[in-house]
Structure 1
Amino acid sequence: MAVTLKDIANRADVSLATVSRVLNYDRTLSVSDQTRQRVFAIAAELRYSKRKRRDVKTMMRKNIAVIQWYSKTQEHDDLYYLAIRKGIEHQAQVYGFTTTSIFQNKLDQVGDDIDAVIAVGKFSPTQVRQLSELTPQLVFVDDDQFAQGFSSVVTDFTFATSRVVDYFWRRGIQDIGMIYGQEWSTDQQVEIPNQRQQSFKQALERRHAYHPEYVLAGDYTSQSGYVTMKRAIAALGPRLPHAFFVANDPMAAGALKALQQAKIAVPGRVKLFSFNNTSLAEYVYPEISSVNVETELMGKTAVDLLVNRFQDAHQAAQRIELGTTLVERESTK
């Protein structure tokens, strides 16, 4: 006798509707990854097959190339992109896909057996074209290529940065500095615009409180944050801002070290607010307040977008922007 959705629902201890939506890859369904995995596992165990749609096993035979613009070393130094990749891998397992990680945009390492590409990082127009030639099933993460016709998963930088400025402003701090990063695509063709820096400038210009001398550029590494903050301390002296927004956690950790070496109290004299909220923000003293970015969810969402494409190759490109939250810790209290 044929296996029904009700059989799976009874075994999984979920509703019939939940089983139907999970097996139809409904991305809007709010259930845990564990529940999805359980439903798929029971469906496979009972050898359930759907009529008029590809069965679970057919959907599961997919190989995704995860093309990371960072090198392995860079990825481990900046846990932001590592967390995105882990999110991709975890969600791929939910659907039974296999993933192949390729670092530093080395497209010559992409095999002929891939079914889709998830490109993680920042890419020049030339690189976008090269990626699109590999497969039509292409999703970008942390790079907004929606205008070029490609599905993209991005983070809200503008509102998040504005909320950090509001956070300091409500506490009576109006001299706010920023340390941000400058980057180029791996082919050195395009300098990557820093949305956090642009949003920071706009937020303070609206308040007539933007001071360009309070804004310094680094390269997203801890050493860069350290050197850049030392430069600010030397150049500004007693005019050093009472608060800094730092573009990522490694730079914030380096800036904290420079302040501590100069015997400038944090948060007493200078408050620090970072971005990304990786585990590094909690492993320094004092712990650093940070904007929490749903990095793993970014990766998972990219896989979900591919599933939609596998079901309907003609589906229009989608742009998904994920929200952020502020996590307050000792560096701003």
Structure 2
Amino acid sequence: MATLKDIAKKAGVSIATVSRVLNDDDSLSVAAETRDRILSITDEMDYRRSKQQKQQAKAVMNVGLFYWYSKDQEAADPYYLSIRLGIENACAERGINLVKLYKTSESYRTNFKGSLHGIIAAGKYSKKDVECFRNLSPHFVLVDYALSDSIDCVVPDIRKAMIGVLDYLFSGGHRKIGYIGGHEYVQTNQPIGDERESAFCEYMTIKGLYRPDYVWTGRFTAEDGFELMREALACADRPTAFFVASDSMAIGALRALHEKKVRVPQDISIVSFNDIEMAQYIHPPLSTVRVETEFMGETAVDLLMEQMQSNRTLAKKIVTPCTLMIRESSSSRQYISAD
């Protein structure tokens, strides 16, 4: 039986667009040609909504979605874009109406006139932000951030992933391992501790190899990845391998290495984090940790629905697995130096 996903693929649009066309969503801005194409494909594939789907269409559930990144930030680092797409697709499959939330000053607002049944927020938030969410709806889920034990959340298993990366580099003979990462903030000046950095420092300390001068941090941008790698290359006793905390930063770091004619991975190995689509196509293809971002978004929708339908009083924290993808930007050392 045909699904919304099948129709969306053939029509060349998102699942959310197909769902909104079939549900006669007047707020949807789409070309008449696109709408007609979707309806034609629906008839061609003999799509029939189930009784449950029809009931959902009659009693639409409204879920607020707060965008942590701006459009420009999503374009530069598509990590949260992928999470958002997972949320949008899961809601479309369930006939849920997603309502955009915007932050103004210390509060959140929306142009939507109805009531919100729940809220999903992907990104990093303060306790004040959570209070604002609770004023809009008692049901909400955080994605990619565990603020407290009293809030439902979906997060990747970063610590386990970091141990896997460092075990891989260590077993390959690397002892001088550098860290290039970034800092994020809630509101304007509250820094958030990064689990990748803390796991790196802890692992290297246990091994007796931690060096504070091998840690460089800035923003999670390609520009900062470039500048931080240039700083690192100025060290007389530079690392033989780097963990870079995001693929976007790693792309900038690779440019700095290429400009200095440093060979990757022959001279320096690079392992990154996120596994954005571009990671496998740059030169050399990035070894990186795959985070199942779309799955995280889908899981957040499932968790919100379960929260709303149950009477539980304890919060749930769902930890999703990560996978180390070994590509051409990393390799073993030919020898292990005495130091």
What residue number does 1:66 align with? 65
Q: Which amino acid aligns with 2:83?
A: I
Aligned ranges for residues 10-29 of structure 1 at < 5 Å? Answer: none
2:128 aligns with one of 115, 126, 134: 126
Question: Is 2:117 the partner of 1:135?
Answer: no
Please state whether the residue corresponding to 2:257 is helix, strand or coil: helix
Segments ≥4 residues shifted beyond 6 Å: none
Aligned pairs, number = 284
Displacement of 1:96 after TM fit? 1.1
Question: Relative to 1, partners in 2 of residues 1:60 and 1:190: Cα closer, same or farther, differing over 3 Å?
Answer: farther
What residue number does 2:310 align with? 312
What residue number does 2:43 align with? none
1:277 aligns with one of 275, 278, 288: 275
Question: TM-score, normalised on structure 1?
Answer: 0.80
Q: Which amino acid aligns with 2:260?
A: A
Question: Is 2:152 the partner of 1:151?
Answer: yes
Deviations 1:43-94 (A, max 9, x none): x44x369xxxxx9427961121110221121112111100000000111112
Question: Relative to 1, partners in 2 of residues 1:209 and 1:93: Cα closer, same or farther, differing over 3 Å?
Answer: same
**Counterpart-to-counterpart distance in 1, 2:179 and 2:193:** 15
Aligned ranges for residues 84-95 of structure 1 at < 5 Å? Answer: 84-95=83-94
Root-mean-square deviation over aligned CA pairs? 2.1
Asked if 2 retains the 8 angstrom alpha-carbon contact of 1:309 and 1:315, the reply is no
**Counterpart-to-counterpart distance in 2, 1:290 and 1:120:** 22
Question: Is 2:205 the partner of 1:205?
Answer: yes
Question: Is 2:314 the partner of 1:297?
Answer: no
Displacement of 1:262 after TM fit? 0.4
Question: Relative to 1, partners in 2 of residues 1:103 and 1:85: Cα closer, same or farther, differing over 3 Å?
Answer: farther
2:319 aligns with one of 305, 312, 321: 321
What residue number does 1:172 align with? 173
Question: Relative to 1, partners in 2 of residues 1:59 and 1:118: Cα closer, same or farther, differing over 3 Å?
Answer: farther
Asked if 1 retains the 8 angstrom alpha-carbon contact of 2:240 and 2:267, the reply is yes
**Counterpart-to-counterpart distance in 2, 1:59 and 1:210:** 59
Q: Which amino acid aligns with 1:144?
A: A
Please state whether the residue corresponding to 1:331 is helix, strand or coil: coil
Q: Which amino acid aligns with 1:263?
A: K
Please state whether the residue corresponding to 1:66 is helix, strand or coil: strand
Question: Relative to 1, partners in 2 of residues 1:94 and 1:315: Cα closer, same or farther, differing over 3 Å?
Answer: farther
Higher alpha-carbon deviation: 79-88 or 308-317: 308-317
Question: Is 2:243 the partner of 1:214?
Answer: no
Unaligned residue ranges in structure 2 (runs of 5+): 3-46, 332-339
What residue number does 2:26 align with? none
**Counterpart-to-counterpart distance in 2, 1:101 and 1:175:** 46
Please state whether the residue corresponding to 2:285 is helix, strand or coil: coil
Question: Relative to 1, partners in 2 of residues 1:261 and 1:159: Cα closer, same or farther, differing over 3 Å?
Answer: same
**Counterpart-to-counterpart distance in 1, 2:95 and 2:316:** 23
Displacement of 1:267 after TM fit? 0.5
Displacement of 1:125 after TM fit? 1.5
Displacement of 1:100 after TM fit? 2.5
Deviations 1:283-333 (A, max 9, x none): 310011000001001000000011112322545321001111100111013
Displacement of 1:146 after TM fit? 4.0
Question: Relative to 1, partners in 2 of residues 1:60 and 1:288: Cα closer, same or farther, differing over 3 Å?
Answer: farther
What residue number does 1:188 align with? 188
Question: TM-score, normalised on structure 2?
Answer: 0.79
Deviations 1:221-279 (A, max 9, x none): 00000000001112x13x11010000000000000000110000000100000001011
Displacement of 1:190 after TM fit? 2.0
Asked if 2 retains the 8 angstrom alpha-carbon contact of 1:247 and 1:275, the reply is yes
Deviations 1:158-198 (A, max 9, x none): 1111111100010111110010101111x225211111000
**Counterpart-to-counterpart distance in 2, 1:275 and 1:204:** 18
**Counterpart-to-counterpart distance in 2, 1:146 and 1:319:** 10
Asked if 2 retains the 8 angstrom alpha-carbon contact of 1:196 and 1:247, the reply is yes
Displacement of 1:281 after TM fit? 1.0
Percent identity at matched positions?
Answer: 35
Please state whether the residue corresponding to 1:107 is helix, strand or coil: strand
Aligned ranges for residues 219-238 of structure 1 at < 5 Å? Answer: 219-234=219-234, 236-237=235-236
**Counterpart-to-counterpart distance in 2, 1:214 and 1:318:** 37
Q: Which amino acid aligns with 2:291?
A: V
Displacement of 1:101 after TM fit? 3.3
What residue number does 1:25 align with? none
**Counterpart-to-counterpart distance in 2, 1:103 and 1:329:** 39
**Counterpart-to-counterpart distance in 2, 1:65 and 1:93:** 14
Please state whether the residue corresponding to 1:132 is helix, strand or coil: helix
Asked if 2 retains the 8 angstrom alpha-carbon contact of 1:176 and 1:242, the reply is yes
**Counterpart-to-counterpart distance in 1, 2:189 and 2:256:** 33
Higher alpha-carbon deviation: 80-89 or 96-105: 96-105
Asked if 2 retains the 8 angstrom alpha-carbon contact of 1:250 and 1:280, the reply is no
